[in-house]
Amino acid sequence: MGNKKLIRNIAVALAVLFVLAALAPIIIQAFAADSSSISDLEKQLDQLAKEQAALEKEIKNTKNIKQTELQKKSQLEKQVNTLTSKIDLIDDMIGEYSSQIAEKEQESTAVQANIDSQTDLYLRRMEENQLTGKLSYLDVVFGAASFSDLMTRLDNAAAIAAYDENLITSLRASKQEILDVKATIEQDKAKQEALKAEAVADKESLQQATKDAAAYIAGLDSDISRKQKLYKEAEAEEERLNEELKELLRSLAPSDYIGGNMIWPTPGYKKITTAFGMRTHPITGEYKMHTGIDIAAAGGTQILAAASGTVLKTGYSSAWGNYILLDHGGGIATFYAHMKTSALVKVGETVTKGQKIGIVGTTGLSTGNHLHFEVRVNGDSVQPLNYVTPS
């Protein structure tokens, strides 16, 4: 009876072994298929990352050009405004000169009228006294009642003639002075009109340059929009492949957590500039989930493995820059991004807690040196501060 039971057990064991032997190729093939799929996806992700990096570089370059053109346009507009003010001032000066010229013309006309009046009186007096070029002294001599009267008559006649001549001479001098001042004002006015013509030409040239700059900026905006659309399409494809990769990783056999208590990845640098949660992205302007914490640190600062584990993936993404993904078992992983250089460890390599794995930088979509640090559980990002404490 005992022998029969022993034989039955041996037979069952052999049957199990045969079944396992038969299934082994299938299991190995399935595992190999999963590994092959992951490898293919990683290659696609790397290619997408390169395309996104190229697009991001083009967008940044175009934005830099746009910023330069905006500054240039702003300066042109300031110059146009300055010239407009200058032209207004010149117009005011020309208006003042015109007023002064009109005033001098009125003065000249008045003086000329006085000259004409005095000359007319002088000529009529000469005609009345039958003078041709000087007084007839015979009338003065024979008309005198006495010698004293004669002398008085001669003095009066000479005084009147001298007064007329002096008055006319003085009036003519005054008119000439007025004409001289008027000529000077007209010269000044002509200079201002020449300056105005020059300023108007410069203003028109600057206005055209401003229009050209505005048109160029509009073209840059269109180019940026086109590239940003391409970038978002590549980003969406990267997200889709990331989800597919996440599902494949979740389908792998579960393992035990081996990391131990986690440590702060940037010793000596504790300031968190962006917390875990929803936020407006500083570059894209999108309101979306921030899947980790940003730790401000000097460029070149060492990045330490928060826990022991295996390097699951390293690479470059246009969004994350240089990054590392460590698997610590038990569905727990840590993610380090924006590193200055590529990872200091290789995929498949085992790392120990506190080991230097990278260097702080600002690659990818980053506005300054810092470490983006994530903790992921079964592929999903969770609050890192539940696992690490700043120190």
The tens digit of pLDDT for each residue in 4-16 reads 444 454 444 444 4
Residue whose token pair is 């000439």: 176
pLDDT surpasses 60 at 241: no
Which one is the CATH code of 1-253: 1.20.58.220, 3.40.50.720, 1.10.287.2610, 2.40.50.140? 1.10.287.2610
Task: Select, from the ranges 57-61, 257-261, 275-279, 371-375, the one with the highest average predicted confidence (pLDDT).
Answer: 371-375
pLDDT surpasses 60 at 358: yes
The tens digit of pLDDT for each residue in 161-189 reads 676 677 678 777 777 887 887 788 788 77
Question: Phi, psi at residue 231, to the nearest 5°?
Answer: -65, -45
pLDDT score recorded for residue 131? 46
Q: pLDDT: is 194 or 76 the higher one? A: 194
pLDDT surpasses 60 at 136: no
* Domain regions of the chain by residue span: 1-253, 255-391
Question: SS3 string of the chain?
Answer: CHHHHHHHHHHHHHHHHHHHHHHHHHHHHHHHHHHHHHHHHHHHHHHHHHHHHHHHHHHHHHHHHHHHHHHHHHHHHHHHHHHHHHHHHHHHHHHHHHHHHHHHHHHHHHHHHHHHHHHHHHHHHHHHCCCCCCCCHHHHHHCCCCHHHHHHHHHHHHHHHHHHHHHHHHHHHHHHHHHHHHHHHHHHHHHHHHHHHHHHHHHHHHHHHHHHHHHHHHHHHHHHHHHHHHHHHHHHHHHHHHHHHHHHHHHCCCCCCCCCCCCCCCCCCCCEEECCEEEECCCCCCEEEECCEEEECCCCCEEECCCCEEEEEEEEECCCEEEEEEECCCCEEEEEEEECCCCCCCCCCEECCCCEEEEEECCCCCCCCEEEEEEEECCEEECHHHCCCCC
Task: Select, from the ranges 70-79, 237-246, 248-257, the one with the highest average predicted confidence (pLDDT).
Answer: 70-79
pLDDT surpasses 60 at 149: no
pLDDT score recorded for residue 87? 76
pLDDT score recorded for residue 370? 96
Question: Phi, psi at residue 43, to the nearest 5°?
Answer: -65, -40
Confidence of residue 281 (pLDDT cuts 50, 70, 90): low
Q: pLDDT: is 112 or 52 the higher one? A: 112
CATH topology of domain 255-391: Glucose Permease (Domain IIA) (2.70.70)
Task: Select, from the ranges 34-48, 130-144, 272-286, the one with the highest average predicted confidence (pLDDT).
Answer: 272-286
